[in-house]
A and B are shown apart, each in its own frame.
Chain A
Amino acid sequence: DAGVTQSPTHLIKTRGQQVTLRCSPKSGHDTVSWYQQALGQGPQFIFQYYEEEERQRGNFPDRFSGHQFPNYSSELNVNALLLGDSALYLCASSVTGTGKRNTIYFGEGSWLTVV
């Protein structure tokens, strides 16, 4: 049973460019959350997707957008990259619904460096 998988693991982009990060949740999980972790900080909630819709967004600008596909996988897109977007981007998968054990699993993350 595969856990949460993210790709790419590392990437370098130039200011102003756009990036797409991908996440496949753990088998049986239907909810995907994205977090940004800057150096020396705890992860910060970006947004959450369930049933292909954004359910909640954290304090991030519209340059950050996402998508969830029918197979529950998800993408995080960041436009007009800034140096400050350099961070570890983490995907977390879980299950929504009553009676479900709310165990949250993280992927290994995607390291984004903006130069």
Chain B
Amino acid sequence: RKEVEQDPGPFNVPEGATVAFNCTYSNSASQSFFWYRQDCRKEPKLLMSVYSSGNEDGRFTAQLNRASQYISLLIRDSKLSDSATYLCVVNAVYGGATNKLIFGTGTLLAVQP
């Protein structure tokens, strides 16, 4: 089983749609959670951190359920510019390294005009 598993893609949605991405992680000791965005042939960039209380940044809302080991990202009023791959990321706390990120495979979002 992969340490971080995401919805398979791609997601093709019209402009203005609401889209949700889901992710599960296997290590209950994980402490930090993130969503990264990656544009085609570019490096991943931090979109937002995810907290148990839930957090919102404009059209983006992230939720964490520690009991279910489940992370979600909701994008409201999708824009063409939201088209990218969204990576669910967990900061591993074992093995000696710090800030070791475990990535999901990513979900491709294509927003259609």
Whether A45 lies near B100 (C-beta < 8 A) is yes
Asked, given contacts A45-B101, A48-B97, A56-B97, whether A106 binds B32 with beta carbons under 8 Å apart, the answer is no
Q: Say yes or no: A104-B43 contact (C-beta < 8 A), given A42-B106, A55-B96.
A: no
A-B interface contact total, Cβ < 8 Å:
64
Q: Is the CB of B91 within 8 A of A42?
A: no
Q: Which residue of B lies closest to A40 (CB)?
A: B105
For this complex, into which size category does the number of interface residues on chain B fall?
Answer: 20 to 34
Do B43 and A45 touch (CB < 8 A)?
no
With both beta carbons as reference points, the residue of chain A lying nearest to B99 in the complex is identified as: A94
Q: Tell me whether B98 and A96 are in contact (CB under 8 A).
A: yes
Please tell me if the beta carbons of B96 and A33 are within 8 angstroms of each other in the complex. Answer: no
Residue A113 is within 8 A (CB to CB) of chain B in the complex: no
Min distance, Cβ A32 to any Cβ of chain B, angstroms: 10
Asked if residues B91 and A43 are in contact (CB atoms below 8 Å), the reply is no
Chain B residues positioned under 8 Å from A109 (CB to CB): 42-43
Instruction: Give Cα distance in the complex from A111 to B42, angstroms.
Output: 10
Q: Are A45 and B105 in contact (CB under 8 A)?
A: no
Interface size class, chain A? 20 to 34
Contact A43 B99 (CB under 8 A): no
Question: Quick one: which of A45, A56, A102 contacts B32, CB cutoff 8 A?
Answer: A102
Report Cα–Cα, A106/B43, bound state, in Å.
Answer: 7
Are A108 and B101 touching (Cβ within 8 A)? no
Q: Does B95 sit at the interface, judged by CB under 8 A?
A: yes
Residues of B within 8 A of A31 (CB): 98-99
Contact residues of B with A, CB < 8 Å?
4, 32, 41-46, 87, 91, 95-106
